[in-house]
Amino acid sequence: MTSSMPLGQRIKEARKALKLSQKAFGKTINVTAISVANWERGRGKPAARARKELMKAHGFVVDPTTPAAAALPETEKQPDPVTETKPADSEDKLLAATGGGHPKTTPPTVFELPRAGTEKIHKVTQEDYDNWTDLYPGVDISAELRKMKAWLQANPTRLKTNVPRFIVAWLNNAQDRPLKSQGSDNDRMLEKFDVSLDLIVDQLGDISAALIKLVDFITRPMPKD
């Protein structure tokens, strides 16, 4: 890849070389598939944190004129494998016994919905959002979440305790909505066609009656003087 290639194209080429989807590639650098897609389309650039993650995970330098080793602060450069020290066995055992080690990361919250029960808020995570985007490609997830929130706020007596099931049922209905709309449109077209056909039949009946009268008038014998 040359330095003259647009940044978005370089990111796309790097991802394809790794044979990763936008979602999988985003997970390696702690960003969403939407962010990766926007970069590849030239709609924005990686922020400072994302640039560091790109360098750490894939050795990808956003600015090709910057040496790879200088892209990170001194404290964040890769450790020297020769001089790096590992915890003693006793420390490893202590961490394992106390449940220590790497802290669990909490997925970021992208939306909140009111719910029934002691916990008044149901948090929608980025992972939830990405999964629904994959499962319901024809549905605008953000728009539907806003509709859900408005409906729940307008109907406080119908708040749900099992919010995930409510969300899935709502999205299933939203996905089927275009088909129902199309069926309704077809029904309306058929109804209009039936009405038009009835009008045509009525008009033909009037024309037929008028022709009969005309023929009767023409064939009627003329009175003699």
Task: Answer whether residue 25 is part of any domain.
Answer: yes
Walk along the chain (225 residues) in steps of 10 and give the mean pLDDT of each run: 74 90 90 88 85 84 55 42 44 52 67 88 87 83 91 88 90 76 58 65 77 81 67
Residue 100 falls inside a structural domain: no
Give the range of the structural domain holding residue 154, as residue numbers without chain letter.
Answer: 106-197
Residue 89 lies in a domain: no
Residue 168 and residue 113 in one domain: yes
Task: Assess whether 67 and 146 both reside in one domain.
Answer: no
Per-residue confidence (pLDDT) for residue 156, from 0 to 100: 87
| pLDDT recorded at residue 217 | 78
**111, 185: one domain:** yes
**Final residue of a structural domain among 76, 96, 118:** 76
Establish if 170 belongs to a structural domain: yes
Token pair listed for 24: 């999988």
Which are the contacts of 69, defined by CB distance < 8 A and separation ≥ 6?
77
Give me the helices (H) in the chain, please: 7-17, 22-28, 33-40, 48-58, 89-97, 126-135, 141-154, 163-219
For the chain, how many structural domains are there in total? 2
116 and 185 belong to one structural domain: yes
Contact (CB, 8 A) for 101 and 94: no
Q: Please tell me the total number of residues recorded for the chain in this structure.
A: 225
Which residue has 């389309």 as its token pair? 41
> 55 in a domain, yes or no?
yes
Query: Is residue 40 one of the residues assigned to a domain?
Result: yes
CA–chain centroid gap for 46, Å, is 21
pLDDT of residue 180: 52
Buried/exposed 9-19: b ≥16 CB within 10 Å, e otherwise? ebbbebbeeee
CATH of the domain at 50: 1.10.260.40
Q: What is the pLDDT of residue 147?
A: 92
Helix (H) or strand (E) holding 110: strand 109-114
Whether residue 94 is contained in a domain is answered as no
In a domain, 129, yes or no: yes
Domain shared by 111 and 160, yes or no: yes
**Res 167: pLDDT:** 93
Please give the single-letter amino acid code of residue 81. P
Residue (of 149, 141, 131) closest to 171 by Cα position: 141
